[in-house]
Structure 1
């Protein structure tokens, strides 16, 4: 089901994986429509038990369903409409004004993919520093996270075979593959993502946990074990 008919000539698909995101999905979809007025807005639900699907059906062009798992959901959404460019957006992230135009400009010089700078909305005074460090690290390494609203041409997405079907850090893994095709277009306009995990678990603790998880991933720890470690860290 969708809010309006989807034409076959759209150039941009906005893919939003969701699981029990009723608290934020309406705002995210309205914002995505404003930022990408000519894009196809695709929500892929992984089995929500709240009102997420009902709310999305009134605002998205397409609401699809897949087994849970962010990588699996985003890959499913990418195959829904044959648009030339794909944008992967978290359900708690708002795009900057003119995102559709900024994506087109970022890819205009032949780059295969890109991402936005990020700002984190939350209570901790450390969050602006966290966001600045994320943006700096991404710009220097050519690696992005899902909070930065990764976008790619469909050709590039197909060339790297989409998101790897792993339990965690599928965004980092895919961006490393995309990096082999080109350096990312690093759009300085900021996507604003929720600081809910920092607020819930404490900024310092969350920063330490994320660095630990990233180190484990770099050292080759299997993603399933990293996901289990992440779950234990959140439970403490």
Structure 2
């Protein structure tokens, strides 16, 4: 009987845990969760609400997501969601990012190699503006030189995430810190598929201003300035401190 119970528990575990940090994301989250619902496979969705004042949590529950509350910045939210997750694959998706229909298949295929610890997707910024097209071009060049951010929908094997300690509790550059730690453990891959993310910061703040601030903060981070200090200079969109852009 005990063996049957253990077998049932193993069979009922999801193949993939999708963790979404959110703060006042009611305008964006519905579309993201609709896209995730269309993905194939046995998956769980965890929305980690950072203290929203809008309908974010209600929308997440309407889609059947597990909703938990964790304040203190996106790094803390992501790690809290990962700590609750049950699957052996953790996938971190921003609330304004739309995955492709075959995303789960790409993730599973990408993680087949024993030396691979995780990966991400190519990124397209939504919209037909020249700024959105430029950002799409820029991000693909950055990926080629090893720079990647949370907009790219990072995924990781659970045991590597747990062993290295997971996301640090940073308000900014938590994704860069995670990827640096993962690279020390093995190989990261980019899936031959694209996620579409919002270009709202560029639309609201302007391309030159956003890229200038992003570049300055990135350089200061590499020089050793605390992410907690840098987070004070990066104004949130929809109430959330986000890693540029």
State the partner residue of 2:178. Answer: 174
Give 5+ residue unaligned stretches, structure 1: 1-6
State the partner residue of 2:6. Answer: none
State the partner residue of 2:87. Answer: 83
Distance (whole Å) between structure 2 residues aligned to residue 204 and residue 122 of structure 1: 17
Distance (whole Å) between structure 2 residues aligned to residue 122 and residue 169 of structure 1: 25
| Residue 115 of structure 1 pairs with residue 98 of structure 2 | no
Larger mean CA deviation between 116-125 and 131-140 belongs to 131-140
| Residue 22 of structure 1 pairs with residue 53 of structure 2 | no
Q: How far is the alpha carbon of 1:167 from its aligned partner?
A: 1.9
Aligned CA-pair RMSD:
1.8
State the partner residue of 2:137. Answer: 132
Q: Residues 215 and 87 from structure 1, CA distance in 2 versus in 1: closer, same or farther, beyond 3 angstroms? A: same
Q: How far is the alpha carbon of 1:123 from its aligned partner?
A: 5.2
Distance (whole Å) between structure 1 residues aligned to residue 215 and residue 37 of structure 2: 34
SS of residue matched to 2:108: helix
Write out per-residue CA displacement over residues 39-71 of structure 1, whole angstroms, 9 at most, x where no aligned residue.
Answer: 111111111111111111110331111124111
State the partner residue of 2:61. Answer: 57
State the partner residue of 2:226. Answer: 222
Contact 2:150 2:175 in 1 (8 A): yes
Write out per-residue CA displacement over residues 102-152 of structure 1, whole angstroms, 9 at most, x where no aligned residue.
Answer: 0001101121100000000135303223222222222322x4211000000
Contact 1:71 1:164 in 2 (8 A): yes
Q: How far is the alpha carbon of 1:38 from its aligned partner?
A: 2.0
Counterpart among 85, 100, 103 of residue 107 in structure 2: 103
Give 5+ residue unaligned stretches, structure 2: 1-10
Distance (whole Å) between structure 1 residues aligned to residue 156 and residue 172 of structure 2: 20
Counterpart among 200, 207, 229 of residue 203 in structure 1: 207
| Residue 160 of structure 1 pairs with residue 164 of structure 2 | yes
Counterpart among 32, 48, 52 of residue 48 in structure 1: 52
| Residue 147 of structure 1 pairs with residue 151 of structure 2 | yes
Distance (whole Å) between structure 2 residues aligned to residue 37 and residue 44 of structure 1: 22
Q: Computing the radius of gyration over CA atoms, which structure comes out larger, 1 or 2?
A: 2
Contact 2:106 2:192 in 1 (8 A): no
For this pair of structures, how many residues does the alignment match?
226
State the partner residue of 2:7. Answer: none
